[in-house]
Structure 1
């Protein structure tokens, strides 16, 4: 019997996440030693193999591991330092010890103090030293009676005895205790300028002119690592002991299902008592929903397996630890916002004794927003919906309220969602307010929109759509398209509510938002209410609110809906949600929530935040919105392109080729588009095989490769993506029109005509690092003697005729024939086709060099002659350098400076 992989095994006892891990640098790699349990060694090198060991604890204390980032030159272990905990619900009753312990366990941490440790022994020692210095600087310092205030110096110098002269270039300045050391963000633009030399040296062996020094890939790696740290430093939260990614109502449903299964099994086993006699040890664990109002199901399962994968942002980076079953090291990171506050509400006096105070009720208010990693990205980079039904900026927001009235604890929960308009649309990032543009007709998005709404209704129940976009003007194209989409779906579980926010609230008439709140059915949707752990009512459905960005207008309306729901919740308890304290706390939490989501999606705080905080608009708020709008335009037009590539990479949607693509096009293709393109290429191979192979020929394999338009050419202004088919008798070089799915022409070369196959580096550009890497710029030449080669053209014309037919011989009228061109027999003449591998877009395709080696091997096997293979560069780095003009170099240098 095959054992389950470690990632699917459950230990005998519930695994507890390591809260403290001690780090050490060894000769073999980076060693991690927890307080209890097995240690881990991450070996040096790009592969950074992870294995379990018994190791001695080091000096540096970590709060946890974020994951491993593998780049070209080396890999990086991302860790974070210990953080201070914030309880989700503070304990108000100090005498209730059981309640105090249960409540304090629900602790939430903010992800900060992230550091990258290169898996290179020499550099890792420096990183270790920096972490140790930070740790020393944060230790409480003993106060001396005769201490004198001295100028601040770095912790590194303090650790070495305070000798300022002992500092060297290798010792970086250590930040103060409240700072997070990050690599320097400053760079000189001249680093990207090509080195112009009067005379370049020659290679002594080949006498070829050597190319200029290539750009340092280490610099790009440092930029990627800095951006990854920057992304994870913005709005990420985690917990060591409970699932932060599921709502309370979802957890209760899971527990109800577990208890129902338990009840069914307890009734089933006694009926089969003759075969399975009852045993006291056979009882299954059961959680009583009334034991605790804040429930947590499946405690025996590792934390990462209990989380909602939509909100598990570092799953790809933790893959090595997950695959090895190192559950205690895997901490799911959730992007969004978590904030809690506690205050009291006075109990309304008795009408018979209006002057007598009845005390106050302690109230806890929590807002948790969970941002989905599906179709994750930035404002102008990710819009609309993809092929899987995922929309951009999808956020689930839950408001939790806890109150204790007359010794009875009540817990409330209300969930809302936001997400981009589920159409295929986009916006240009190069203006302040670009108009949305539909990329596909509305009727072509029915299938993916159905996937999206099926997912929402299965999770939340009936969906009420609140569309805040403009019904006229620039936004009218997608707004009306959204309305037409919902009308065409004709679903009873979806209700569409349009509310033109700008038109209704024009002139700062913010009070008109109450019209929207009054028009929706808050009573029918309800909210979760548990009394002493027993459900009194549940939420049936959810509001799906959106504007164009799902940021500013959405924040205002969601907070307004939540405010009305909070009033209804407290009314159920006989309390009044009035007073400046509750208003200030509620508005502050929701404004912070909106600002953080805006920072994640648009890199600036939310607009109209002053209204959410204070309930009114003022001049300073309008001025802030103007500055934020300019900042959004800057980020959207300049820096978001690279940041989007980093996000796609850290989530595992794209591999390292995304950075090659970015440096060439200064853009990042959506992962869904890459998958779709891969499918199109597979279909092209199948289509070409069906149309060009001779009868009886069976395809061995097929590839899509880049190739110059003409034969016997290696360097050309443009490359065409051709289809190469291999059979036992011949190879077929096919020019294929992808939009029309049409074979334009193909050439059949018998394998016996192939004289040699040359494979090697195929470098066509020297401007950026990836284009110089032979592993990602590899190709091959098929040299052949055109003795029996033939070329056919698909003209689809009734005048087609065989070119070999004499001109004075008239063909049969009305019979279309293919246009065929036979090459003249000349054994002394050889020609060739040049092919360059297309860089892989997914992590399982391997490098270009590996794919070329595989293709060349199969062609040589079909030729039954392994000696045909010759290893020699197709286009060497020196040849590519000489073909690159100074103007191209300077143009690329300027773009790189601007975008990176």
Structure 2
């Protein structure tokens, strides 16, 4: 019986995440990661970055953990972060939460890795406390010594604790966030357009952008699952205990089925006591296996460690916001003795927002729903409240979610307030919307939708479409409430939000309440709130709902939740939450944040919103395209071809659309096989390849995607209309007519790095004698297309007025040779091989069928020099200008 893969095995003792790792270089073979105890790991040098367990001496650099491995074209990078100081989730809670920051890349090449490790060592030494002397005064360090390799970082000890109405997010003017980028771009290489940019520059930009993305709103815990809400954990633990009891009753007591184990260790780890406020089920399995994969953002980067079963190295990272705050509420005095104070009750408030990695991306880049039922900007927010009254501890939890409107829609990023546009009719979204709501109801129970977008005006097309969708689904487990936030609160009438809060059913939904570890009540369902962006209006309403729920929670304990201290603390937590979610999705802090923070609007808040709107337009129209490509790449939704696509089109296609296109191509191959193969012929293989529209042409201003089919008797070259799913024409080339195959680089542009790489631009020429070749056209009546070759085009320059045969046989000319040129398309998803590897595989399959000696010749189809001569100076200047703006 085959053993389980290492990723699914569980060691006898529950693995613990390494909190400190020693980094070093081992025999010029790779970078070593050695923990305080237990076996270490080595990440070998090279693009593959192979990971293996190892035992060796620890290095001098101490890091807090590993983020993962980023593999690019010429190098791979190990991402690590320096040790951090954590904060307890609650004052009495032993588990700590850490903010991810101070991320550094270590290139996996001998020379560069040694330099990177030395920089980290210098940074580590500089941060060590220095002894004070009479001649010097140690000052707190505010940043790293290497701005290129990491972002500036401020230690927790150097900053005073924020007051109740302060935000821990630095309050900087919004326009300073992108102005330095424009200034620094002037210092970049100003080479002439005829000097193309180098691949090293692009790799450096990608690594910096990955670090920049992971430095915005990410957090983690070494020993506590932060991805599941408290109610889910309690239910999971109850199910585990019920299963254990059932199995105990079923297994005979005499031990005939399962003989006693010779080990002295207990067979099952004892379950944690239910009187513990924060239960943690499945503590015997690795932390990464206990997490909700929706919120495990670095899973793809940690794949090598996961596959090898190096569980102690795998540290799940979550994006969102975590904040803990405390305040006190006076105990109401005894009516019989109103002058005697009964003291106060300390209240701990925790807010955790978990942003989903499914359909992850940026504003304007990711909207609506995909084929798997995932929506953009999906965030689960849990409010936890802990209070102790009369020596009895109560713990409350209330969960809400937000997410984009589950329709196929989008917006143009090139204006301040672009109107939403439906990409597909509402009825086309029924199936995927059901998938989405099935997932929500299975997790939370009945869903109460609150739609805050405009019911008239620009947003009405998706708002009313959403209402039509819910009415058509007609599900009893979904309720819909429309509240036009802009219309209801126009003129700063913020008090009208209370109308919405009063109209929804908070009582039947409830919240989780445990008293001394025993559940008194549970939450039944969840609110799903959205506006267009699921940012500003959504955060305002979610905070209003949470404020009402907080009052209900503490009222049940006999406490009166009023006073400026409570309001300041509560509003600060929710305003910070809105700012962070907005920074993750729109690259600016939330609009209307002054109202959430203070409960009122003022001139400074409106000016802040105006600047934020301008910043959002800048990011959405310029920088977010590249950032979206990086996000799709490190999540594993797209491979390196996403950057080739970006540099060519200065945009990033949705991974869902790419998957859909892959399915369309598969269907095209099947359709062509059914339509064009002769009776009795069996397809050996089929491919979709780029090719000039005309035969015997290599360089063309336009390429079409043709289908190439291989049988034991012939090769079929098919022109296929993907929109109509129709074969337009095809050419059948008998195997005996193939004279030679030429394979090599097929370069059609020299403007960007990927277009000059032979591995990503490879193709082949299929040379054949047209003696027995035949071409058929799909005409139904008249032939609607002239022959492809220039000679035949001249001979039939006029459209025939009478029907002609739909089959053309080549003239008998044994000395004539023609060819088709094919260019491989780079893979779009997963870890497919390069174009060069695909071409080698295709040519090998054709050569096996031909069974001819010296059939294949290694020679460039279009060399770099040929492509350079065909690229005009105007094209180079135009591309250089666009690249300067977008990258």
TM-score grouping bracket, smaller chain normalisation: over 0.9
Q: TM-score, normalised by structure 1?
A: 0.91
Q: Is 1:824 the counterpart of 2:815 in the alignment?
A: no
Question: Could you say what secondary structure the match of 1:473 adopts?
Answer: coil
Residues 543-591 of structure 1 deviation map (CA, whole Å, 9 limit, x = unaligned): 0000000000000000000000000000111111111111100000000
Q: 1:854 maps to which residue?
A: 841
From 194, 201, 210, give the equivalent of 1:219: 201
Q: Is 1:582 the counterpart of 2:580 in the alignment?
A: no
Q: Tell me the CA shift for residue 799 of structure 1.
A: 8.5
Q: 2:855 maps to which residue?
A: 868
Change in CA separation of 1:801 and 1:319 when aligned onto 2, cut-off 3 Å? closer
Q: 1:88 maps to which residue?
A: 89
Q: 1:100 maps to which residue?
A: none
Matches within 5 A, 1:364-375: 364-375=348-359
Change in CA separation of 1:847 and 1:172 when aligned onto 2, cut-off 3 Å? closer
Q: 1:248 maps to which residue?
A: 230
Q: 2:113 maps to which residue?
A: 124
Q: Tell me the CA shift for residue 842 of structure 1.
A: 2.1
Write the distance in 2 (CA, Å) between the matches of 1:151 and 1:451. Answer: 52
Change in CA separation of 1:509 and 1:114 when aligned onto 2, cut-off 3 Å? same
From 111, 135, 143, give the equivalent of 1:146: 135
Write the distance in 2 (CA, Å) between the matches of 1:324 and 1:288. Answer: 29
From 865, 874, 877, give the equivalent of 1:878: 865
Q: Is 1:39 the counterpart of 2:40 in the alignment?
A: yes
Contact kept in structure 1, 2:66 and 2:79, CA below 8 Å: yes
Q: 1:4 maps to which residue?
A: 4
Q: Is 1:838 the counterpart of 2:820 in the alignment?
A: no
Change in CA separation of 1:265 and 1:429 when aligned onto 2, cut-off 3 Å? same
Q: Tell me the CA shift for residue 132 of structure 1.
A: 1.0
Write the distance in 2 (CA, Å) between the matches of 1:484 and 1:171. Answer: 52
Q: 1:303 maps to which residue?
A: 287
Q: Tell me the CA shift for residue 277 of structure 1.
A: 7.5
Matches within 5 A, 1:365-514: 365-514=349-498
Q: Tell me the CA shift for residue 272 of structure 1.
A: 6.4
Residues 510-563 of structure 1 deviation map (CA, whole Å, 9 limit, x = unaligned): 000000000000000000000011000000000000000000000000000000
Q: Is 1:700 the counterpart of 2:689 in the alignment?
A: no
Write the distance in 1 (CA, Å) between the matches of 2:35 and 2:742. Answer: 53
Write the distance in 1 (CA, Å) between the matches of 2:196 and 2:783. Answer: 54
Residues 48-100 of structure 1 deviation map (CA, whole Å, 9 limit, x = unaligned): 11111111111111000000000011100000000011000103xxxxxxxxx
Q: 2:609 maps to which residue?
A: 625
Contact kept in structure 1, 2:104 and 2:149, CA below 8 Å: no
Change in CA separation of 1:262 and 1:894 when aligned onto 2, cut-off 3 Å? same
Change in CA separation of 1:791 and 1:114 when aligned onto 2, cut-off 3 Å? same
- Unaligned stretches of 5+ residues in structure 1: 92-102, 157-169, 197-212, 804-814
Q: 1:239 maps to which residue?
A: 221
Q: Tell me the CA shift for residue 145 of structure 1.
A: 2.3
Question: Could you say what secondary structure the match of 2:325 adopts?
Answer: strand
Contact kept in structure 1, 2:691 and 2:823, CA below 8 Å: yes
Write the distance in 2 (CA, Å) between the matches of 1:21 and 1:77. Answer: 13
Change in CA separation of 1:885 and 1:577 when aligned onto 2, cut-off 3 Å? same
Q: 1:136 maps to which residue?
A: 125
Write the distance in 1 (CA, Å) between the matches of 2:192 and 2:394. Answer: 68
Question: Could you say what secondary structure the match of 2:357 adopts?
Answer: coil
Question: Could you say what secondary structure the match of 1:506 adopts?
Answer: coil
Change in CA separation of 1:735 and 1:302 when aligned onto 2, cut-off 3 Å? same
Write the distance in 2 (CA, Å) between the matches of 1:339 and 1:784. Answer: 70
Q: 1:654 maps to which residue?
A: 638
Contact kept in structure 2, 1:654 and 1:671, CA below 8 Å: yes
Residues 761-810 of structure 1 deviation map (CA, whole Å, 9 limit, x = unaligned): 0000000000000011000001111101111111111789999xxxxxxx
Write the distance in 2 (CA, Å) between the matches of 1:862 and 1:147. Answer: 81
Number of residue pairs aligned between Structure 1 and Structure 2: 845
Q: Tell me the CA shift for residue 843 of structure 1.
A: 3.0
Q: Tell me the CA shift for residue 355 of structure 1.
A: 1.0
Residues 620-670 of structure 1 deviation map (CA, whole Å, 9 limit, x = unaligned): 000000000000000000000000000000000000000000000011111
Q: 1:744 maps to which residue?
A: 728
Q: 1:58 maps to which residue?
A: 59
Residues 334-391 of structure 1 deviation map (CA, whole Å, 9 limit, x = unaligned): 0000000112111111111111111111110000000000000000000000000000
Q: 2:97 maps to which residue?
A: 108
Contact kept in structure 2, 1:270 and 1:277, CA below 8 Å: no
- After superposing the two structures, state which structure 1 stretch, 477-486 or 46-55, moved more: 46-55
Write the distance in 2 (CA, Å) between the matches of 1:363 and 1:728. Answer: 77
Q: Tell me the CA shift for residue 268 of structure 1.
A: 1.7
Change in CA separation of 1:64 and 1:792 when aligned onto 2, cut-off 3 Å? same
Write the distance in 2 (CA, Å) between the matches of 1:259 and 1:506. Answer: 53
- Unaligned stretches of 5+ residues in structure 2: 157-179, 788-801
Residues 789-844 of structure 1 deviation map (CA, whole Å, 9 limit, x = unaligned): 111111111789999xxxxxxxxxxx998611111010111000000001111234
Matches within 5 A, 1:167-182: 178=154
Matches within 5 A, 1:692-771: 692-771=676-755
Q: Is 1:786 the counterpart of 2:775 in the alignment?
A: no
Residues 94-126 of structure 1 deviation map (CA, whole Å, 9 limit, x = unaligned): xxxxxxxxx22x100000000001011111122
Write the distance in 1 (CA, Å) between the matches of 2:481 and 2:339. Answer: 46
Change in CA separation of 1:649 and 1:714 when aligned onto 2, cut-off 3 Å? same
Q: Tell me the CA shift for residue 288 of structure 1.
A: 5.0
Contact kept in structure 2, 1:731 and 1:748, CA below 8 Å: yes
Write the distance in 2 (CA, Å) between the matches of 1:779 and 1:424. Answer: 36
Contact kept in structure 2, 1:802 and 1:819, CA below 8 Å: no
Write the distance in 2 (CA, Å) between the matches of 1:795 and 1:6. Answer: 58
Contact kept in structure 2, 1:802 and 1:818, CA below 8 Å: no
Change in CA separation of 1:880 and 1:179 when aligned onto 2, cut-off 3 Å? farther
